[in-house]
Amino acid sequence: MKNTVSAAVILFACGSAFADPSALNLHFPFNSADTTGWTQSMARNDDGSTGSIALPFTFCFYEQDQTALFINNNGNLTFGSSFGGFTPTGFPTGLAMIAPFWADVDTRNATGADTNLVWHKFVDLDGDNADDTLVVTWDGVGSFPSNNSEVNTFQVAISGIRNAFGGPNGIGGLNALFSFGDMNWTVGTASGGAAATVGINAGNGIDFSQIGRFDHDGTDYNDPNTPAGVQFLNGQTYRFDACAGEVPAPGALALLGLGGLVAGRRRR
């Protein structure tokens, strides 16, 4: 029998100004006009993916060590295989996935102020001259089919440092984050109205942490399973423990029912 519990994520807004309006408040700054230091993850495409990318660190994901991954155009990272699925479903699913915004992203249109591309870079957070963190940014990306009338900017970072983004050393450390700039669309025309999914999924059909699903304009949010307004994400950053999914210290949380947000999770 599955037991539903609450897995907390810390919610905060980064307030520093940045030159790229769509990327305001991203945890790792990004500027469409100057992508120095970033690597274009893949050519313009619809439903494409990178090849397997070796990580220069070990990332702990649901108590499993991961040393390689795929960046998928449709707003997610996967382990073991690439993934071109353009119709988002709620979690759990059978594929290990980190989804800052799983939806039908289409980067084929080159017009607009932003690049409409996916970018990544490795960074050294602890200053030991060894890269320990991967950052992936979807910069002003449009939706299927080649629609740039509205764009989304969002980011995911994963780290080999257990407490890279907060938490006590080695225990309940926060080793991943989602960060959102300007968010404007939710559904591609081929997805049948399916709500975009934000969260992480172990791939065993049981364990997951779903921050929410989004299928309309607005700032409304009720719970992780009720479709919400995509502008709720604007300027927000979520830090979480992707290794164990353990709840951080209560004093650091904003708990659902106590004026804030948690993610819905099932654990074995």
For the chain, the structural domain boundaries read: 3-28+53-267
* 106/119 Cα distance (integer angstroms): 14
C-alpha distances (whole Å) from 266 to each of 38, 74, 177 are: 35, 24, 19
**Residue 242 in this model has a pLDDT that exceeds 70:** yes
CB 245 within 8 A of CB 233: no
Rounded to two decimals, the pTM is: 0.87
171: its two tokens: 């225990």
H/E element, 26:
none
What is the per-residue burial (b if ≥16 Cβ within 10 Å, else e) of 224-262?
A: beebbbbbbbbbbbbbbbbbbbebbeeeebeebeeeebb
Per-residue pLDDT, 44? 98
Give the pLDDT confidence of 25-67 residue by residue, as tens digits. Answer: 999 999 999 999 999 999 999 999 999 999 999 999 999 999 9
Predicted pLDDT of residue 188: 84
d(CA 263, CA 79): 21
